[in-house]
Structures are given as C-alpha cells and as structure tokens.
Amino acid sequence: MVRITSATLIAFAAGAIGAPQGTVTPRQSPGGCECAVKLDASTNVFEKYTLHANSFYRSEVEAAAAQMSGEAAEAALRVADIGTFLWADTIANIDRIEPALQDVPCDEIFGLVVYDLPGRDCAAKASNGELPVGAIDRYKTEFIDEIAALIKRYPNQAFALVIEPDSLPNLITNIDLQSCQDSAAGYREGVAYAFEKLSLPNVVMYLDAGHGGWLGWPDNLEPGAKELANAYKAAGSPSQVRGIAINVSGWNQWDMTPGEFANDPDGQWNEAENEKAFLELFSPLLEQNGMPGNAIVDTGRSGNPGGRLEWGAWCNVVDAGFGPRPTSDVDSQWADAFVWVKPGGESDGTSDSSAVRYDSFCGRPDAFQPSPEAGTWNQAYFEMLIENANPAI
C-alpha cells in the first residue's frame, strides 16, 4: 500500500511523479497565467508587466521592520511591496528561486540576477564568487543549466534576467590586472552560454553594462559596446536578449544636470554625466555593433546623491537613499524602465579589514561602517536608505 502524504500530493501537483525520465513537466504557481507566456523581446515588456516584489526580499524587509517602530517601521513594510530582483549568486542560492515563484501574479514579471561566473568580479575582492578561474564547465552544468531547467518548469511565468553584473565591463577598464586577464576567456564564454541557454520564450535578458562613470569615458565607449555585442553575437544573437542593464548596485542619477561629478577636474572629459546621457552615447554604439541597445536602469539606491568622494566609489556609500520606484514611464527612447536590481539593505562588502574578502573601497571614508560581508543584511544601512529616500517611502 502506498501511503499518501501531503508531500506526495505536492509532488503530484508539481508533476514530479509519473513523468517520463528526462522530461520537463510544467509547474503552475498559484495565481500564475493560465497559458504559456511568450515574451516579445523586440518590445518593452515592462509596459505590460509590473516588476514582482519577491518573497525572499520581503522576508528580509519584514524581519528588519520588526526591529523598528513607528513611521520608520511602516515605511519599511512599504519597501517590501516594491518590485525587486532576486539574486542567484551561488549554485546553492538557486534554491531561493522556486519558493519565490509561488506568489507571482500573471501580470507581474519575476526579476532574477544571474551572477556566478568563474573568477567573478575580477577587480573587487568583496564580491568574489565561489567558482575559480577555469571552472567554466561547472558554471555551465551546475549553474546555468539548472536555472534554465527551472525556468522551463514554469512556462506560465514571465522572467526578466540581468546577466552577470560587473563582468564584461571589467574587461574594458581593468584588463591590466592579472586576475581580469585570467578571467577574460571564461567571462566571454560564460556570458555567451548564458545567453544561449536562457533564451527561452518566457524570458527577456539584459546584459550588465556598468554605468556612465565606468564605460562612459570616451576611451571606453566603443570598446565596451564591441565587447558586449561580441558576447551577444557569439551566442547566435538570441531573440530574447532585449539589451543592457545599467547602474546595477550603483548610485548614479538618471538625469541630474550637471552630473554629480561633472565639476571634477576630469569631469569635462566624460559626457555621460548621468545615466540618461550614458544611454544616449552607448546604446547607439551597441546597435552599430549588432546588439539591441534598450536598457533597464537600477534606481534602487540613487535617491540621495552626494555621499561619494569619487565616481568610482561603489561600496556601501554613506548617506544614500532609496531612489525612484520601478516604472516604465521613463523619458528616454532607450530606457525600458527604472527597476530595483540591488536589494537595498544587503551589503556590498565587509568593512572588516582582516576579512579574506575585504576590499579597500569598503573601508574608505565614503563607505558606511561597520558593514558585513557582501549580500549579508545590514540593518543600520537599510534604515538609512529609508531615512534618505527620494521620493520618500
């Protein structure tokens, strides 16, 4: 006699029992679409779909709110309702995805960051990944293939993917570092493989392109556009690649004029003084090199400029605030939407100088201290983001 348990019933509902070996049985999340989703990546899908407020970040924010009181706690709970991307930044953290898919309505799109290249973030210690240089086979089989298989199990759910933050831009500006030279081949092969395998009907993809203070300099614009476009073409120019993601985990302003660093001694040499100007310079070059130039812009922590001492500062910037909310109502021919890619409150890196992953940028005067390891919750920083939010939460 077979004993039927609640777990067995869930397995039946998920299609895990009785399916031929090697087949992919679709799963239906409660509230999901009745039919398979087919996204047209030649259009702006954010005009149809709202970015989903994922349950993983919601749980972090609700736990933070429980440590607060009064209006601050109420504001924190409002943050939980704002659409934010989930980060798959290790093989183990792929397990975060499926539980978070169980409450996604049909009119919302699930944001996912794909971030685990071998030798990841070759120019910054704080966000070094788990896979060493050369582990491209593990990246393919244990990471990308697993994410692709999971997405295939949810054909009735729309996905927006940000592909590998800080990867290809590092090959433009930090290729003098031995660590980036060693990582280059794996980055290019890995991004192309991710493009190829994740180009699924219910997916749109945006490749990370840094920001105006990174690739916006005259010497970086053309090489940057070629590097990104080459990865796209190496994958066979997949139909579900929509364009690029900019300002991911960043602090830059959308259209502030003059820009935050326009008056620096070298500011006159960079016309990409804000992210809107960056797109106007960079997106046409992408298209000239054969890649779509549409973009999403991370505005999650751009609400209160002025904390950075230099444009290149990236770690837990002091005095930052939550920025403009996710929306497709953006005044730009290139920008699809403002989105929140970086979950506000999760650290960029530790300020503990004795830590293995300590990066000096996280110990500078314009970096919030103390701060825990990258990806770890920082309660005080989250409360600061709420206090300095613009618009107010």
CB 201 within 8 A of CB 37: yes
Of 166, 208, 298, 336, which residue is the catalytic one? 166
- 270 vs 267: CA distance, rounded Å: 6
Among candidate residues 121, 298, 336, 359, the one labeled active-site is 121
Nearest to 316 by CA among 370, 274, 254: 370
> What are the structure tokens assigned to 344, written together?
């506000």
Closest by Cα among 336, 39, 339, 81 to 199: 39
Other beta carbons less than 10 A from residue 50's beta carbon: 15
**In degrees, to the nearest 5, what angle opens at C-alpha 168 toward C-alphas 240 and 57?**
65
Q: Which residues are annotated as a binding site?
A: 87, 89, 211, 214, 314, 342, 346
Told to judge if 166 belongs to the known catalytic residues of this protein, a careful annotator would answer yes
Is 176 catalytic? The answer is no
Q: Which residues contact 387 (CB under 8 A, 6 or more apart)?
A: 72, 321
Give the active site residue among 116, 208, 298, 348. Answer: 348
Whether residue 319 lies in the annotated active site: no
- Burial (CB < 10 A; 0-12, 13-18, 19+), residue 171, is buried
Query: How far, in Å, CA of 59 to CA of 46, rounded?
Result: 25
300 touches 341 (CB < 8 A): yes
Please name the residue that has the structure tokens 């240089």: 133
Residues 6 or more apart whose CB falls under 8 angstroms from that of 194 comprise: 114, 144, 163, 164
CA–CA dist 325, 251 (Å, integer): 14
Instruction: Tell me the binding residues for substrate.
Output: 87, 89, 211, 214, 314, 342, 346
Report the C-alpha gap between 163 and 245 in whole angstroms: 8
Catalytic residues: 121, 166, 348
